[in-house]
Structure 1
Amino acid sequence: MGEGDQAESSLLGTATGYFVQFDLNDNGGYSSSPADTIMFAGTGMDGIHFSFLTDFGSVTDLSLAPIIRVDPMDFGKCAKIVAKNIRDFFALHFSAHEGLLLNDFEAKEHYLAYLKEQEGDDEEENEYFDKKKWQRQKNEVRDNAMQRFGFQPILDGYAYMQEVRRARWNELIVTTSDGLGVTVWGTSVDCLNRPLPHPWHMKEIPKRKVERLKSYIASAEQAGLFGFIRDCQVLGVDDYEVIQAICDQLISLGLPLEAKRLAYCMDIS
């Protein structure tokens, strides 16, 4: 780009509006950032970030990994599936569904009302900020990205996201309190022979019964352990001995990166 183009782009901050990064060791750094995720973008507000969900190493090709939003301030509901894969994530973004990626809406009419409200805000004059120039720059970036990367517009973003979340739910072999659950890619599980969840499934985990928790971790079946890890992160189980026992077990299962991320975000590294 020439100097004039750079000046024109200055109102956007970044081309996508996100702070893009990639580090295999970084899941976002919050206790609510799932251990089996890799952060690729942050919003710069309230700790909200977007990550690849690897399902504890089941997904080896990140282009196929589901994308989640982690909002550390949304206690108990911090992690949500937002796209089937990275291409769909950016297709949603450049199809003007940024608000859908950042927020949850109880019904489609609520989302449509939000969009209408946003349109009204864009039309308001602001002496401190040239919204028309900003919107023009956004449209230019959107058009260039859609053409360069071959993104297909997603017209009904709300329906798309609901379908992605339904599909995820149908794939789960163990449910968890954060809604992400546990699934195993590339395998089919008989509905009558699903693995058992951990003993405190959908209950309060007894944080003070450290030895009991450590005993479970040492003997847990893999799917139950993964569900236990998700619930520990959601419910704030942060005892050093418990988290260290989980990390040791993850390493024994051949998941050292997940162990490293968990130790980091639970502040025991």
Structure 2
Amino acid sequence: MEGPTAESESGREAWFAKPCVMGIDEAGRGPVLGDMVYGCAYCTEEELQRIGEREFADSKKLTEARREDLYEVICRDTTLAWDTESLPATVISQRMLGSVKTSLNVLASEATFALIDRALARGVDLQQVFVDTVGDPKRHEAMLSSRYPSIRFTVCPKADSIYPLVSAASIVAKVTRDRALRQHVHSDAINASTSYGSGYPGDPVTKAWLEAHLDRVFGFPDLVRFSWQTCTRMLEDRAVPVRWECEDSTDGQQATLLTGPSQGSQGASGGAGRHSFFRARQLQPVHTF
């Protein structure tokens, strides 16, 4: 979660009470590494045409250097304000793999709500919002219109190539994500390589990075989205199996769950002569360290 910076608001508050238009887009929905970032850019209705004369474009079609240049242009333009909402990989993993699972679409909607809510809380008179979407645009538009009945919404795929404000939001989101990825400090205190590749699971460089940084007990570093299928398969194939015990709330009995690769034999830990505590946990004596 980011929120506006002093730079993104300085000198802009004077026009917040005028009728305004906003564009929203994301960066990092598909990658297995790093944050998913939602960005927005907004201006007054009277400034909208001038914004359209800028060279903003879908951030994916720009070189990194050009994105950085345009990002600085956006930051300096006091007739244009922006904001970001970042969802780290740890949050995505926790929400998607929790006991109550949350889909990526729901996370995306929550990020969109956060951007709009913060703008409204700052006194921005939002009249219209353009949103880029990868899901069903009509359903998303209906949901937004129901939540914010006083705002007109236009939701469509490739909005970042159609509406300049969405293009500006795309640039803000992409630069924010790329900088966060470059500056990421692993809380796991590991000496991880920064040769991430594109971050997409189909990228051989990214896949090699995942394979090189898979710990058989603890899994992946905190930069990785454990909920992605690529990670799930790697953990199933290479991680140490884990046996969890949980108490059945209905009859107080204990149930045992096994995660990890299938183990064909229980080995010595299943010996009938050993105490049930050790058998249940598959604990075995160690003679050599």
Q: TM-score, normalising length from structure 1?
A: 0.28
Q: Which has the higher contact order (CA 8 A, sep 6+)?
A: 2
Name the larger-Rg structure.
Answer: 2
Q: TM-score, normalising length from structure 2?
A: 0.27
Whose helix fraction is larger, Structure 1's or Structure 2's? 1
Whose strand fraction is larger, Structure 1's or Structure 2's? 2
